[in-house]
Amino acid sequence: MSNSLNKILYLEDDPHISEVAMIALRDIGGLDVVHCASGAEALEALKSFEPDLLLFDVMLPDMDGPGTLAAVRQVEGFEKTPVIFMTAKAQKHEQEQYMALGALTVIVKPFDAVMLADSLRSVWSARKQSESVEPIA
Distance CA 27, CA 33 (A): 10
Instruction: Write out pLDDT tens, residues 95-123.
Output: 999 999 999 999 999 999 999 999 999 99
Predicted local confidence at residue 136, as pLDDT:
64
- pLDDT of residue 134 exceeding 90: no
Q: How confident is the model at residue 1 (pLDDT cuts 50, 70, 90)?
A: very low
Please write the tens of the pLDDT for every residue from 14-23.
Answer: 999 999 999 9
Per the domain annotation, does 57 fall within a domain?
yes
**Within a domain: 1:** no
Residue 21 lies in domain: 7-126
Burial of 38 (0-12, 13-18, 19+ CB in 10 A): middle
Q: Which residue has the higher pLDDT, 136 or 52?
A: 52
Q: What is the pLDDT of residue 129?
A: 62
**How many domains does the chain divide into?**
1
Q: Residue 5 contacts by C-beta under 8 Å, 6 or more apart in sequence? A: 31, 52, 53, 120, 121, 124
- β-partners of residue 8 are 33, 53
Evaluate whether residue 35 is within a structural domain. Answer: yes
Residue 24 domain-assigned (yes or no): yes
pLDDT, tens digit, 9 for 90 and up, residues 9-51: 999 999 999 999 999 999 999 999 999 999 999 999 999 999 9
89 lies in some domain: yes
131 domain residue, yes or no: no
Residue 45 in domain = yes
Question: Helix or strand or coil: residue 6?
Answer: coil
Say yes or no to pLDDT of 126 above 70: yes
Give domain status of residue 94, yes or no: yes
Can you give the pTM of this predicted structure?
A: 0.91
CATH code, 16: 3.40.50.2300
Mean pLDDT across the stretch 47-68?
Answer: 95
The enclosing H or E element of 124 equals helix 116-126
